[in-house]
A and B are shown apart, each in its own frame.
Chain A
Amino acid sequence: MSAVEELSCQELVELVTDYLEHALEPGDLRRSEEHIAACGKCTVYLRQMRQTIMVTGALPGGEISAEAEQQLLQVFSGWSST
């Protein structure tokens, strides 16, 4: 029975990060690729995940406040004068 080998959608969503990180074992990689190729819903899920990474990657990195930078520079100049 080949169904034993096949991944369900619920199993596939748990492998998506390992899939995107190229961390799947060959067997799981093959099963994941077969599942994605045959399943439009999981194809949408995978696309959503790539979109999520893209949107997260476009966030501003977080600027340091002028105050915090000033405090750190004081740490540096205190050390510099030693």
Chain B
Amino acid sequence: MRYGRQVLDRDDAALVAALRARDDATFTQLVREWNASMLRVAQIFVPSRAIAEEVVQETWLRVLNALDRFEGRSSLKTWVFRILVNTAKTRAQREGRVVPFSSLRDPGRVPESAVDPDRFRPEDDERYPGHWSSPPRELPEEQLLAAETQAVVERAIAALPASQASVISLRDVQGWSAEEVCNALDITEVNQRVLLHRARAKVRQALEDYLAPETG
């Protein structure tokens, strides 16, 4: 497991000072590091990749224009992503899209099983209620990092609801901490974990279906 894909090691004050000094190398570095995450988050709110790219552009313009007001009360990353979320919400309203706040704020409202309930013995089973009837199958270790396996995982993430896709992308692909994700998306720890749980459960199922398909 990797923690933090971050290449940036300068502190926020130095980054902000460099941006204020119009240093385009620093800007490029931030753009490269955060672009994939910014697109993911924008896509929670807006319907297409193309609009998400416009939202990211608009966000950077707002960030630059507001740079003199950055006080360092949150990290630069959190501040930028909060502006991104606001920009994306405004854009979504303009697009006439009903913003799925509930998918972030109240993801637990609609129950969802991590594993198909049919894979367990029924509640009224005399001896082993709720125990596996179709147990998990061992995944072949040597195929885990194959390109085909990675493509399966990419497709599974792409098929997730946008809020779940964002959380698993930030946490597990980009290596953000739980706290960073909560701050950037302004969601509670519990909701962050619900979204992560559901996302990981579906990716796990996709991996099992691909690497250890049910036989017979």
Contact = CB atoms under 8 A, between A and B. Distances in A.
A8 to B, nearest CB: 3
B27 interface: yes
Interface of B is mostly: helix
A60 to B, nearest CB: 8
Interface residues of B, number: 57
Interface string A33-57: 0000000011011011101111111
Given A21-B193, A48-B204, A55 B149 contact: yes
Interface of A: 8-11, 13-14, 16-18, 21, 23, 41-42, 44-45, 47-49, 51-59, 61-64, 68-69, 71-73, 75-77, 79-80
Interface stretch (B8-16, B79-87, B94-102, B126-134): B126-134
Interface of A is mostly: helix
A73 B60 CA distance: 10
For A14, A16, A52, A71, which residue has the most chain B Cβ atoms within 10 angstroms?
A: A52
Contact of B153 (A11, A55, A77): A55
Contacts of A71: 57
Given A8-B120, A9-B120, A64-B31, A57 B135 contact: no
A41 B64 CA distance: 53
Contact of A59 (B56, B61, B130, B173): B173
Contact of A62 (B35, B144, B168, B172): B35
Given A8-B129, A56-B173, 16 more contacts: A10-B120, A10-B130, A10-B131, A14-B197, A44-B135, A47-B138, A47-B139, A49-B200, A53-B1, A55-B153, A56-B172, A59-B150, A61-B174, A72-B56, A73-B31, A76-B27
